[in-house]
Amino acid sequence: MNDDPGSVPLVRVLAVVGTGLIGGSFAAALRRVGQAGRVLGVGRNPASLQRARDLGLIDEIADLPRAAAEADLIFLATPVGAMAPVLRDLAPVLRPGTLITDAGSTKADVARLALDILGERHAQFIPGHPIAGSEMTGPEAADPMLYHGRKVVLTPFEDTPGLLQHRLIRVWEACGARIALMTPEAHDRALAAVSHVPHFLAAAYMAQIVRADDADTRLSLAGTGFRDFTRIAAGSAEVWRDIFLSNRAAVLRELDGFDQALRLLRATLEGEPDPAALEALLEQAALARRFWGGRSQMQ
């Protein structure tokens, strides 16, 4: 907490592009610990920006050129598909000392865009991904504790200045986050398995349920297991469309692996059922989930 009124915050001027759950929570987290001075909000939806201002998430509404001219840190909390036009608008007016980072769920494509669009200034951009979120959207969903205790992946370029990298790490740590450094490709492979494909499957399952003739009856009988399994299907369709398309190759590889596992499990029910094989596969999955659950609680 920055309790000294005379001290300089880590980010004197913060620009948040996209003031919904992710961007709004980032601003709120830094405000909570006194590490953001003035906060500029940038976005496509005037009503959402005004709501963010009314909620105290931002101080002023600005456009991208002003953000580039005034901000020390620009946080891009936009859908991955909107990243290219944002970077194109920033590129010609970006100050040499301004640091840019993002919160996109895929990293290899974002890194390529930074190289292509920002050119020699690409090192001012450090791709990032906070492993945190909610099915809720909009400024009202912003939570200053969203990143507390959560992991944030950073995928800096080989020529990213160490000073800039250290600066961004300090900012995220002020939000309560834990930092992991990896390559964009390693990030995308891992996230396809543990984030993107689970959402894909939850969406497919939910679609299958609601298209059934007796959908109302099924949903009226659904309990906590159904709720937990399908919760993530309620996320932003625009955001997840862009994630699936930008990480398409890794998602398809993971779906191939899932298809093999599903066929193996289904084979225990087809023809002459194999109770022993079915139980063995279920037990293997149960033990793996319990082990992960216990380990994640200790971290």
Q: What is the pLDDT of residues 14-50, one digit of tens each?
A: 999 999 999 999 999 999 999 999 999 999 899 999 9
Half-sphere exposure of 127 (CA within 13 A, CB side): 27
Are 119 and 175 part of one and the same domain? Answer: yes
Q: Which domain holds residue 90?
A: 11-182
Q: What token pair was written down for 244?
A: 């699936």
CB 35 within 8 A of CB 15: no
Are 152 and 199 part of one and the same domain? Answer: no
Are 113 and 162 part of one and the same domain? Answer: yes
- Number of helical (H) and strand (E) elements in the chain, helices listed first: 13, 9
Dist CA 181 CA 158 (whole Å): 12
Are 170 and 26 part of one and the same domain? Answer: yes
Answer whether residue 292 is part of any domain: no
Are 195 and 175 part of one and the same domain? Answer: no
Cβ burial 149-185 (10 Å sphere, 16+ → b, else e): ebebbbbbbeebeeebbebbbebbebbbbeeeebebe
Which of 160, 182, 204 is a domain's end point? 182
pLDDT in tens, 240-276: 998 999 999 999 999 999 999 999 999 999 999 999 9
CB 87 within 8 A of CB 118: yes
Give the position of tokens 């499990």: 265
Span 157-185, average pLDDT: 97
Here the CATH number for the domain that contains residue 134 is: 3.40.50.720
Are 203 and 170 part of one and the same domain? Answer: no
Here the CATH number for the domain that contains residue 210 is: 1.10.3660.10
130 burial class (0-12, 13-18, 19+ CB within 10 angstroms)?
buried
Answer whether residue 23 is part of any domain: yes
Report the percentage of the chain scoring pLDDT > 90: 85
49 burial class (0-12, 13-18, 19+ CB within 10 angstroms)?
buried
The per-residue pLDDT for 135 is 67
Answer whether residue 163 is part of any domain: yes
Are 164 and 220 part of one and the same domain? Answer: no
Q: How confident is the model at residue 2 (pLDDT cuts 50, 70, 90)?
A: low
Answer whether residue 201 is part of any domain: yes
Are 178 and 191 part of one and the same domain? Answer: no
Are 232 and 261 part of one and the same domain? Answer: yes
Say whether 132 sits in a helix, a strand or coil.
coil
Are 126 and 71 part of one and the same domain? Answer: yes
- Taking alpha carbons only, the member of 55, 72, 191, 103 closest to residue 86 is 103
Dist CA 247 CA 103 (whole Å): 15
Say whether 62 sits in a helix, a strand or coil.
coil
Are 94 and 193 part of one and the same domain? Answer: no
Domain count across the chain: 2
Helix axes 248-267, 184-191, angle to 10 degrees: 30
Does 243 or 294 have the greater pLDDT score? Answer: 243
Are 163 and 57 part of one and the same domain? Answer: yes
Dist CA 147 CA 133 (whole Å): 9
Q: How confident is the model at residue 293 (pLDDT cuts 50, 70, 90)?
A: confident
